[in-house]
Amino acid sequence: MGKSKELSVDLKKRIIDLNKSGKSLGAISKQLQVPRATVQTIIRKYKVHGTVVSLPRSGRKRKLSHAAERRLVRMVKSQPRITKKQVCKDLEADGTQVSVSTVKRVLHRHGLRGCRARKKPLLQKRHLMTRLKFAADHMDKDKTFWRKVLWSDETKIELFGHNTQQYVWRRKGEAFNPRNTMPTVKHGGGSIMLWGCFAASGTGSLQKVNGIMKKEDYLQILQENLKPSARRLGLGRSWVFQQDNDPKHTSKVVKEWLNQARIKVLEWPSQSPDLNPIENMWTVLKKQVHARKPSHLAELHQFCQEEWSNIRPEACQDLVDGYQKRLVAVKMAKGHVTKY
């Protein structure tokens, strides 16, 4: 026999009201069409607890003790990459047999959930030290300093967005229905390499790189785009150029030209894309370009140029004005990677 449906709170209150008015158990049962034993149980419970609301039930005894739960949580915190199956095996080796779903529930109860590991640059001890030094040396710089920085970098953008994810609503067994699949092509359908720069006052030049960029190509890009971008963005004379420590950027021929052109270069810590706000600009650009669904590489380049020029100066300024938060985040993380 299946479990009967629990009575509503309103019906339980009516039972109590009728009992208080002097009606017998049999009369209440007959009037409300509720078994006499149920009426008696509700009235007895009300007299003891003063409520008709369902009380918390103890349920089945937990498979893991509190001590075992704490051990499980410590195990996962110390080994974030461990799988649920491996946790079950480790517990079974100690004489505790639990299911994968039990492990999952325990971890969820302690706020631990399986998430995709973020891909970040490998940081060695020397990288941590230089990142912390950069944060300490520039912590006292105000917004006026960062507004004079011309940020730069290169990025690759694929025609069909090879790394984009798409979610669909489907039933079980319909995973390979053409409506529920995402067509792909090799190498993302082709890609283009771009060099760009921006400042707090807006976006500067966006230059397409033909083939594999060499130091001579990079030097030509700087010669043709650096000073014109700084003038167009109104940076004045005391502006600072930012670039990362790619070997092409730090080559002798590039350093000599920067010195001859009297362009001050911001000393940059290696392996620190999270300290360069242009990475956020690339994310915005790629999202806007892919939303327009370019069909060939020439159109991809055209859309990149159009969307780059469409980025509002206010968005650039907001990004740069919040730069000190990045430095604080590096300090709090003791030089390790940050959310930026």
Question: Are 159 and 188 a contacting pair, CB within 8 Å?
Answer: yes
Q: Which of 60, 167, 169, 166 is nearest to 105 (CA)?
A: 60
**Residue 183 and residue 325 share a domain:** yes
Residue 289 lies in a domain: yes
Tell whether the model's pLDDT for residue 152 goes beyond 80.
yes
DSSP assignment string, 185-245:
-GGGG-EEEEEEEEETTEEEEEEEEPSS--HHHHHHHHHHHHHHHHHHTT--SS-EE----
Q: Are residues 295 and 322 located together in one domain of the fold?
A: yes
Looking at per-residue pLDDT, the higher value among 185 and 16 belongs to 16
Q: What is the Cα–Cα distance from 233 to 217, expressed in whole angstroms?
A: 24
Where residue 161 falls among pLDDT bands split at 50, 70, 90? low
Residue 28 lies inside a defined structural domain of this protein: yes
- Please state the domain count of the chain: 3
Looking at per-residue pLDDT, the higher value among 245 and 168 belongs to 245
Say whether both 302 and 230 belong to one domain: yes
The order of strands in the sheet holding 264-265 is 202-209, 191-199, 149-158, 240-241, 264-265
Domain coverage including residue 79: 66-110
Q: What is the pLDDT of residues 32-53, one digit of tens each?
A: 999 999 999 999 989 988 888 8
Confidence of residue 128 (pLDDT cuts 50, 70, 90): very high
- CB atoms inside a 10 Å sphere around CB 118: 7
The radius of gyration of the chain from alpha carbons, rounded to an integer in Å, stands at 32
Say which DSSP state 97 is in.
-
**What does the pLDDT read at residue 3?**
60
pLDDT tens for 215-261 read 999 999 999 999 999 999 999 889 999 999 999 999 999 999 999 99
Domain match, 102 and 227 both = no
Burial of 265 (0-12, 13-18, 19+ CB in 10 A): middle
pLDDT confidence band for 164 (50 / 70 / 90): low
Greatest mean pLDDT among 115-124, 159-168, 175-184, 319-328: 319-328
3-state DSSP assignment of residue 329: helix
Check whether residue 185 and residue 87 sit in a common domain: no
Residue 2, SS3 per DSSP: coil
Specify the CATH number for the domain of residue 177. Answer: 3.30.420.10
**340 domain-assigned:** no
- How is 13-40 classified by DSSP, letter by letter? HHHHHHHHTT--HHHHHHHHT--HHHHH
